[in-house]
């Protein structure tokens, strides 16, 4: 009680003030700061930890979930490894709880349950990430399979075309055109001219087939998406350019050979009746024709070697393109 006269705080229930003796009238002294007040945080800190039976039951549930998760993820080949992983997690949580209890933590068992949930959530997050990556990998593998199928179809078609043109060229027997016996007979010379014309047509068809191959081969990669597809198409464009330049060199080398053959046939046709065959060689009546014939034969030998070199280079470029695209189709580049 508070005295209204002197303001002295007396004992609750007293009738008079102990200081001045005045009669006390019903005012109660204020309570000291914090007296009789409990904060929510203090009440929370005072809550007991999870009971051991409840803790053991939840840990059993989490252990079963952990084993099932490990088996489903196929991270382990069987039950022993999955059980070992679950037991290892349990031992780790137990050790952490023991350390927390020893350190004076208020609710170590609750913390252990939360930690166990975290241990299970991490593999689940990995599963989600791996699933997305697996979907991307599967899509990429399917795309590679489709590209490889188209690529193989183009190669097979080109091989068939090349087989046909090579057979046609072989059936013309170009090696017989310049045999000495065919250079002293007008009918044989006329037949050789027809063979040369047909051979030119076969070579032109081979050039068109080569251009078709690179066009269709590049088109097979039109559906390849993303930066990888752009990179492959850029490489094929560069190789196509180099190949067509090489085919141009080969075409010019073939034309050079055929022009020399035409020149030899013209020379032989002008000298029919004045030339003869001896020792597998054509002999002419005048020395100028004989000298011209020797020059043309020498030029033909050089031109044929250039043709063979250009052909080998074209084949090497084509094989390099096939090998590189094969590595790309199987994901090794």
Query: Which residue, 250, 159, 167, is CA-closest to 212?
Result: 159
* 230 C-beta neighbours (distance < 10 Å), count: 12
DSSP character at residue 277? E
Residues 284 and 274: their CA atoms lie apart, in Å, by 6
* DSSP H/E element including 276: strand 275-278
Residues 189 and 263: their CA atoms lie apart, in Å, by 12
List C-alpha distances in Å: 114 to 50, 148, 299: 12, 50, 91
pLDDT at 161: 92
pLDDT at 96: 73
List C-alpha distances in Å: 179 to 3, 174, 192, 257, 330: 148, 10, 10, 16, 50
Q: How many residues does the structure list for the chain?
A: 333
**Site of tokens 């046939």:** 265
Residues 24 and 33: their CA atoms lie apart, in Å, by 24
| 326-331 contacts at long range (C-beta below 8 A, 24 or more positions apart) | 328/232, 329/144, 329/147, 329/148, 329/151, 330/144, 330/148, 331/140, 331/144
DSSP character at residue 61? H
| pLDDT digits (tens), the chain, 333 positions | 567 666 666 666 666 776 676 676 655 544 444 444 444 444 445 566 767 777 777 777 777 776 676 666 555 455 666 666 667 767 766 777 676 666 666 677 777 777 777 766 776 666 566 555 555 555 556 556 666 777 788 888 988 998 999 999 999 999 899 999 999 999 999 999 999 999 999 999 998 898 888 788 777 777 666 676 777 778 778 888 888 889 889 999 999 999 999 999 999 999 999 999 999 999 999 999 999 999 999 999 999 999 999 999 988 888 887 777 666 555 555
What tokens does 102 get? 């020893």
List C-alpha distances in Å: 245 to 29, 200, 221: 109, 19, 22
pLDDT at 230: 79
What tokens does 119 get? 């241990």
Domain boundaries in the chain? 1-31, 52-134, 173-329
Query: Which residue, 74, 116, 80, is CA-closest to 95?
Result: 116
pLDDT at 219: 79
Determine phi and psi for 2, rounding to 5 degrees.
-110, 130
Which residues, 6+ apart, have CB-to-CB distance to 88 below 8 Å?
none
Are 247 and 212 in contact, with CB atoms under 8 Å apart? Answer: no
Query: Which residue, 271, 321, 320, 311, is CA-closest to 291?
Result: 271
3-state secondary structure of 196: helix
């Amino acid at each position: 009680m508070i005295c209204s006269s002197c303001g002295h705080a007396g004992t609750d229930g007293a009738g008079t003030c102990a200081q001045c003796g005045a009669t006390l009238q019903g005012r109660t002294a204020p309570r000291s700061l914090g007296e009789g007040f409990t904060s929510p945080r203090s009440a929370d800190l005072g809550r007991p930890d999870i009971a051991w039976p409840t803790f053991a039951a939840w840990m059993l549930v989490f252990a079963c979930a952990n084993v099932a998760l490990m088996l489903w993820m196929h991270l382990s080949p069987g039950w022993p490894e999955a059980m070992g992983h679950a037991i290892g997690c349990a031992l780790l949580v137990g050790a952490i709880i023991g350390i927390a209890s020893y350190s004076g933590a208020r609710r170590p068992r609750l913390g252990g349950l939360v930690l166990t949930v975290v241990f299970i959530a991490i593999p689940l997050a990995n599963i989600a990430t791996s699933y997305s990556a697996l979907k991307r990998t599967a899509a990429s593998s399917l795309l590679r399979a489709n590209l490889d199928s188209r690529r193989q179809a183009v190669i097979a078609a080109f091989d068939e075309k090349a087989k046909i043109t090579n057979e046609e060229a072989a059936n013309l027997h170009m090696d017989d055109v310049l045999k000495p016996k065919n250079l002293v007979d007008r009918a044989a010379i006329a037949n050789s001219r027809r063979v040369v014309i047909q051979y030119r047509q076969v070579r032109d068809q081979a050039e068109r087939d080569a251009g078709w191959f690179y066009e269709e081969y590049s088109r097979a990669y039109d559906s390849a998406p993303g930066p990888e597809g752009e990179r492959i198409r850029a490489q094929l464009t560069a190789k196509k350019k180099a190949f067509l330049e090489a085919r141009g060199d080969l075409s010019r080398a073939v034309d050079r050979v055929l022009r020399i053959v035409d020149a030899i046939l013209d020379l032989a046709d002008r000298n029919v009746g004045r030339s003869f065959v001896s020792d597998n060689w054509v002999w002419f009546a005048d020395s100028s024709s004989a000298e011209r014939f020797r020059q043309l034969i020498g030029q033909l030998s050089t031109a044929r070697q250039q043709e063979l070199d250009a052909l080998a280079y074209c084949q090497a470029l084509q094989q390099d393109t096939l090998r590189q695209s094969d590595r790309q189709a199987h994901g090794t580049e």
